[in-house]
Structure 1
Amino acid sequence: MSLTDRTLGFITLLVAIFLTIYGYDLEAPFSYEPIGPKAFPLIIAFALGLCGITLIIKGGNPITPNPRGANIRIFIMLVFIAIYAFTFQWLGFVISTIIMVTLVGHLFEAKWWHATCAGIVIGIGFFVLFDKLLDVILPVGILGELL
């Protein structure tokens, strides 16, 4: 079986269906956020479903192999994501996001300065968006009372 855009579209559509089934029954034992825990997986499933359908309809192009060194960078990025997940509570959203974006940005050949600036903007910007504007509680970690 050769890999094409349509193959990726079908796989993406299957992931979207799985997320919809899993996310639809997701309920918190108590309500601590106005949008609830099911909104995020359902929004992601909707976006993935649209992308999958688009690839199925328009696809057919053969998938080219990754350039040399890309697979190891992807693996290292997965390690960074795992570290991010384990440090998220302790360091807090802002610090862990700044570190994560900076490392991943540099991993994909951004200059340290650009990756760090992007990390700061994304870390603080998303914290303000979610915690302050949307009332989604995010961990403050070591910044504690500063936020």
Structure 2
Amino acid sequence: MAQATPTTNRSGRIAAAILLAIAIGLGAAATQIDYAFSSDPLGPKAVPLILSGLLALFALYYWFRPGGAEAFPQGPLLLRSFVFIATCFVAVALLDLVGFLPAMTVLIGVTAYLFGATPQGAAVIGVVQAAFWFACFKYALGTYLPMGTLFSGG
């Protein structure tokens, strides 16, 4: 384990504070879930509340026991990091408009490309994984996935 220094402690605590803020936001959003009936005895609030609680616990642990920190990315790695984050935001923003399959195909394909896949390989990986996750969520778990309004006329 890397030796903690004032710099690694500060960066670890910044990360912990961000994670704690996300946990609080997730927990607050989960309390706003309103449902009339659910066959699940816990209801739809349970999973996000459990996840927010676990994330808050891990954030607090990380606050008090920050580990060694890597150097902040620079150059091409920093650019790839920003491209990945931007692609995540774009995919989520377009989910309702274009649907799960196209949004996830782009997200997974760009991610594969950023990790070194060829453009053709990234495209294949994006299509195959998006279809796989669609089948898992839609058919194995019975989860609703947006089909997109852009091409459905609605």
Q: TM-score, normalised by structure 1?
A: 0.70
Q: Name the aligned partner's letter for residue 140 of structure 1.
A: M
Distance 1:120 1:39 in 2: 32
Q: For residue 141 of structure 2, what is the aligned residue in structure 1?
A: 134
How far the C-alpha of 1:138 sits from its partner, in A, is 0.9
Gaps of 5+ in 2: 1-5
User: 1:125 is matched by which residue type in structure 2?
Assistant: F
- C-alpha deviations, 1:86-142, integer Å up to 9, x for none? 432343212221122101221343333443343233311221122112222112348
Partner of 2:77: 70
The correspondence for 2:112, drawn from 100, 105, 108, is 105
Q: Distance in 2 between matches of 1:49 and 1:21?
A: 12
Shift in Å at residue 85 of structure 1?
3.1
Instruction: Judge conservation of contact 1:33–1:135 (CA < 8 Å) in 2.
Output: no
Matched, 1:85 2:92: yes
Q: Distance in 2 between matches of 1:74 and 1:41?
A: 27
Q: Displacement of 1:63 after TM fit?
A: 5.2
1:56 match: 63
Cα distance, 1:69 vs. partner?
A: 2.7
Q: Offset of 1:19 from its aligned partner?
A: 1.5
2:38 touches 2:44 (CA, 8 Å); kept in 1?
Answer: no
Distance 1:124 1:33 in 2: 28
Q: CA RMSD in A?
A: 3.3
Counterparts of residues 7-86 of structure 1 (less than 5 Å): 7-28=14-35, 38-39=45-46, 41-62=48-69, 64-86=71-93
Aligned residues: 143
**Mapped contact 1:6–1:60 kept (Cα < 8 A):** no
The 1-side partners of 2:86 and 2:38 are apart by 30
| SS of structure 2 residue aligned to 1:139 | coil
Between the aligned partners of 1:108 and 1:21, the Cα distance in structure 2 is 34
Q: Which residue of 2 aligns with 1:95?
A: 102
Moved more, 39-48 or 98-107: 39-48
CA 1:57/1:110 → structure 2, altered by over 3 Å: closer, same or farther? farther
Matched-pair contact (CA < 8 Å) for 1:10–1:52:
yes
Question: Percent identity at matched positions?
Answer: 22
| TM norm structure 2 | 0.67
**SS of 1:122 mapped into structure 2:** helix
